[in-house]
Structure 1
């Protein structure tokens, strides 16, 4: 927050000439007052009766009121009493002017209704001008202080609002920076997780591919999947590069691309060991296809995992177990065994049966 205001920081304000109310039922009396007070350079407002004076006081403020005592209808004392009853004019200085001889009763009555002075006519112009000048200076200084206080309050309010807005802006910027940093770290964490996953998938000897549901677009395929059948089983685009490739089903008939494991898994079918054979450039092979739908995680959408187990050679399962042991180290459950118990006999007796090769769970 800003420090306490100093004289140099006080807002500049201007004070207009003050008003002086002259009340007398005699025109020559008003002319004399105007001539006497004109050198003060203030605004002189005249009233020819007490009622007219009260009407002026309803809408205007005055530095001083020069009030004649003897007036028809409402005299000066009655007018002064009504002036003092109004909140707006309660503290306005009143100077009584009268041609009556000085006496204790009139003076006491004048001071009783709030007069600050009581002058007899004819008065000394210099003395009257000096007395009124004191009240003019006091009124101007009071007005100046009030306006400066109001201007200072408004200035401080604007400064406070500016500082508050600046604090809010800095807080918003800091929150945005923190959110951006958290998002950056989260994205970096996701990228690291993806790199780690890609590295794991690339190192596995089993051909694996991550496929976009519906479209069948391959998002990632490891080296084993890329080298199997020229990548034709892991990439739908690869068959356009290898027009001579042939993919056959369990009945030995060629399969269109829509009936091959990649597209069937992409369409929502859960494959459980679907067997297909392939031929490409004089090479042949057989695979068992497995698939699963990976849920949304780490900001990534649902993804289909397609695994292609190469069963072209009788020792394919043993080679898979050996590859897993190479990645993760010795597996206690497999220690001392040449192949996992669950897989013993699976491939030892020749090619697997085509019965029960997959589970069709295609979504409606």
Structure 2
């Protein structure tokens, strides 16, 4: 680049005779072409890729690459080795989504402006509004919703791929809203709403600075983690989160879907919507010996531990340490 600019300077060209000037012009042209080629390559390394490469746009108005989110996912090669970003323009997208290819990012502008919604009870594994089955998935600033209601389980999102991360997203339903099913997952700055077991499954998940809101007026449960054996490295950790609800003492922190269910709340605010007992054994006293339910330095009216079930744990700093950083999900190796 610097050489080309020097040869292009008028004073340099005026100092040579005609044959030399012709040779200089030829060299100048070659250098400019080389410089242009290098600049284009360098810019391509850092610039946002176009629709033909790593960026697809979904716009219901027809101004993007696709009108539907699933169409954009289907357009990606099955053996895609590069990360693909699908930018979703604001709107309400009434469609069922299956992410079955790795390294896909779905991104909106604001969670309340870009909504993916469906209306179906949990009948089969295909029932959720969105199913994330592939690895290395990221979602940003989106709302995932299932509007079926409170008469049966209705999953907004099922996460069954490894290394999935959600930033600034909302999850809305009533029962089994977020099925954190399998794999390692990370949620930051998200909002999760429901009434019964609305975060459930056997994933290994870290929730940081998330807001959990119970819409149950009686008998609600924030979590139902499904760990079935001591050898499974799964469980849910909530760090710096906020727990609220529509009533007083209406929801427990969790109950064991699996006998070795594991859930920890740390450094989190708990409103009076949290029931004083905190946890429930789901009608099986044997679960009291195997479930791992802990609390560390939480605050708020619902955080008091003096009326918690005797088999839950008030964790020390040492006991809480494995659960309260990204190391819990191996995130130091794959999170941004």
Is the shorter-chain TM-score for this pair beyond 0.5, marking a shared fold?
no
Normalised TM-score (structure 1): 0.22
Q: Which of these two proteins has the greater Rg computed from alpha carbons?
A: 1
Structure 1 or 2: larger helix share? 1
Normalised TM-score (structure 2): 0.24
